[in-house]
Amino acid sequence: QIRSVEVLERLSSIGQIAAGVAHEIRNPLTTVKGFLQMLRDEHDFKYWDVVFSELDQALVTIQSLLAVSKPSLQSESPTDFSLCVELENVLSLFQQETYRIQFEKKWNDKSTRIRGKRNQIKQALFNLVKNACEAIEATGVIQLEHHRTGDTVILSITDSGVGMSEESLSRLGTPFFTTKAEGTGMGLAQVYSVLHENHASVQVESQPGQGTTFTIQFPVSPIYRDQDGGTLRMSNVQLM
Ligand code: ADP
Ligand code: MG
């Protein structure tokens, strides 16, 4: 059950449409919310809670549309950074999960750098780790592996969670696809569009009841390409 993602092009344009639509809807909704807040202060109406929770739900959805669309609109410049160092930063945000989830990190070389928009990629890593945590119902393990093969950096995130059906796998990355009661279905759409923009690819393997592995591959940053695991190749060494 391996699925490479080839819908990335499509997702980028969805992102741009999403941004336009999100702005169009967010502004009037925010205005309506403000007026309703004024009304609430003067009148006793038993459905206020419902009105506000529905409005907030709509605003959350719109916020996630903007998050998906950001890759194409944000003007962050690419920099060279280590993917696994960034992943470590992200993992520190999941400290509160360590009582039930064991995070196993496997990497021996943190020095290899990729080139890309660091904040976007960080957000994508966050979304992947969050999904992995949410897939684990009680206790479990998340394995994080990082290594370099030639001019490619490979990072995999494997969780021992609920896994996915064939049908879910085939719908991954489609905006609004979610199987969670409180889900937005925007996390992976953001991940896929960011990876696409940063010249990375993603593969998913999943087995219902066993768990899921997301493998992402980035090209090594151009200035690190002539290095082999931190050691300069003979051809680049000035022989005396
Ligand atoms: P959300 O997390 O809001 O549901 P996502 O786009 O992040 O939206 O994920 C979409 C769906 O993909 C999830 O609802 C879930 O069904 C499935 N999914 C994503 N990651 C995993 C995972 N690690 N294990 C199992 N299912 C997953
Ligand atoms: Mg998610």
| Two tokens, residue 194 | 């960011």
Residue 214 CB burial class (10 angstroms; 0-12, 13-18, ≥19): buried
28 CA distance to ligand 1 middle (Å): 30
- The pLDDT of residue 233 is 42
Give the 3-state secondary structure of residue 36: helix
Which ipTM was obtained for this model? 0.99
What CA–CA distance (Å, rounded) separates 167 from 191? Answer: 19
- Closest ligand 1 atom to Cα of 172: 12
Ligand nearest, relative to CA of residue 188: 1
Q: Which helix (H) or strand (E) holds 67?
A: helix 48-73
Residue 86: count other Cβ atoms within 10 Å of its Cβ.
20
| Two tokens, residue 5 | 């993602």
- The pLDDT of residue 119 is 85
- The pLDDT of residue 42 is 76
Ligand 1, atom 20, residue with closest C-alpha:
131
- The pLDDT of residue 238 is 36
Neighbours of ion ligand 2 (CB under 5 A): 131, 187
Nearest in space to 66 (alpha carbons), one of 7, 26, 96: 26
- The pLDDT of residue 120 is 85
Ligand 1 pocket check for 72: Cβ under 6 Å? no
Q: Do residues 120 and 71 lie in contact, with contact meaning Cβ atoms separated by under 8 Å?
A: yes
φ/ψ of residue 237, rounded to 5? -95, 135
148 CA distance to ligand 2 middle (Å): 27
pLDDT tens, N- to C-terminus, the chain (240 residues): 444 444 445 555 566 667 677 777 887 888 888 888 888 877 777 788 888 888 888 887 777 777 666 555 556 789 999 999 999 999 998 999 999 999 999 998 888 999 999 988 988 999 999 999 999 999 999 999 999 999 999 999 999 999 999 999 998 988 778 999 878 788 898 898 889 889 999 999 999 999 999 999 999 999 888 655 444 443 333 333
Q: Do residues 91 and 41 lie in contact, with contact meaning Cβ atoms separated by under 8 Å?
A: no
- The pLDDT of residue 2 is 47
Q: Do residues 186 and 173 lie in contact, with contact meaning Cβ atoms separated by under 8 Å?
A: no
194 CA distance to ligand 2 middle (Å): 15
- The pLDDT of residue 59 is 83
Nearest in space to 29 (alpha carbons), one of 46, 52, 47: 52
30 CA distance to ligand 2 middle (Å): 25
